[in-house]
Structure 1
């Protein structure tokens, strides 16, 4: 069984679109797609997957997940929002992502908010959570190893993988449910 530090490394969890990756000039859609494909190529599960497509970006625009694009060019703020959408859509519904970003989009489109500063803080938090995740999966592996130690089964590797998959998906569900609860609270706060 692969050790958990190797597993975490193979996931490329620190692969994020940094502010330095985003050019100071506005980009056309094809350039946005190329930027994301280059940056996140290592994070794809299968080589033929697409990180971002024209259809995805058009759907995000139609769904108002980010403020309107002018002259078919995407600003630094658009790229930041697309990056956040890319991260959130793996766990939340598109409607929940929209709800989460609505107020931020409004502030950014009215020049009432410095999005790059928030995004930089977000990236710092991601880096810290990556370290926490790497430590936590190592603890999970140790607990699983203890749990199957008494088994004389020749399938110990399989049992270890099974239990780790079950535990990881369970933890993923906890985090997703917590995020959904926060989205619900955000909606309730807006309604009051």
Structure 2
């Protein structure tokens, strides 16, 4: 059990860009990158990994994953959307992210939708997800505690990737529902 708790600590699972971390002032791209680097550096797998790059942000903008930027400055709403994209991109394709966020972008841009309230709800769900993940991981670890160290590691990897695939498939199915509802309306 000690190994799994140590792993959970090393993963820095509670690292999340909160509403309070995002300045009220609009930021230039380099400042957005610095904000993400400062927050997420502790979560990088390798030292040389980049958290966010100009190319990534430009690709998100070209792909219309968020509403257009004005005067090369990113608003608090842009940064919240980039943060959501940052979290989703590890699991979903850029196309699926665009489908997921398309209506939200229109709402923010056209209807004066209060994205901050949604983002705060997203933060709360993220905190709950971390707690559930830790609990599930500890349960899984206890189920395989009798095994040899390598076999435990292998079973943990196989089980975690299986669960990841289950969650990804469920997320993709919901994206498909969003796309279907968009076609129907």
> What TM bracket, shorter-length normalisation?
over 0.9
Over aligned residues, Cα RMSD in angstroms? 1.1
The 5 A counterparts of 1:147-166 are: 148=147, 156-166=148-158
Structure 2 counterpart of 1:171: 163
Question: What per-residue deviation string (whole Å, max 9, x for no partner) do you get for residues 21-43 of structure 1?
Answer: 11110000000000000000011
Within 1, Cα distance between the matches of 2:130 and 2:9?
A: 10
1:145 has 2:137 as partner: no
1:187 equivalent among 162, 179, 184 = 179
SS at match of 1:3: helix
Tell me the SS of whatever aligns to 2:27. coil
Deviations along 1:23-73, one digit per CA (max 9) or x if unpaired, are 110000000000000000011000100000000000000000000000000
Aligned to 1:59: 59
Structure 1 residue ranges (4+ consecutive) displaced by more than 3 angstroms after TM superposition: none
1:111 Cα offset (Å): 3.8
Q: What is the distance in 1 between the residues matched to 2:22 and 2:38?
A: 12
- Please give the TM-score of this superposition, normalised by the length of structure 2: 0.97
Q: Show the counterpart of 1:106.
A: 106
Kindly provide the CA deviation profile for residues 130-168 of structure 1, in whole angstroms up to 9, marking residues without a partner as x: 00100100000111124x3xxxxxxx1111100100000
Please give the alpha-carbon distance, in whole angstroms, between the structure 1 residues aligned to 2:182 and 2:2.
Answer: 46
Q: 1:145 aligns to what SS in structure 2?
A: coil
Q: CA deviation at 1:2?
A: 5.4
TM-score, normalised via structure 1 length: 0.93
Unaligned segments of structure 2, at least 5 residues: none
- In 1: Cα distance, 2:144 partner to 2:181 partner: 41
Alignment partner, residue 125 of structure 1: 125
**What's the CA shift for 1:10?**
1.0
Give me the whole-angstrom Cα distance separating, in 2, the residues matched to 1:186 and 1:106. Answer: 14
- Flag structure 1 segments of 5+ consecutive residues without an equivalent: 149-155
Which of these two proteins has the greater Rg computed from alpha carbons?
Answer: 1
Q: CA deviation at 1:13?
A: 1.1
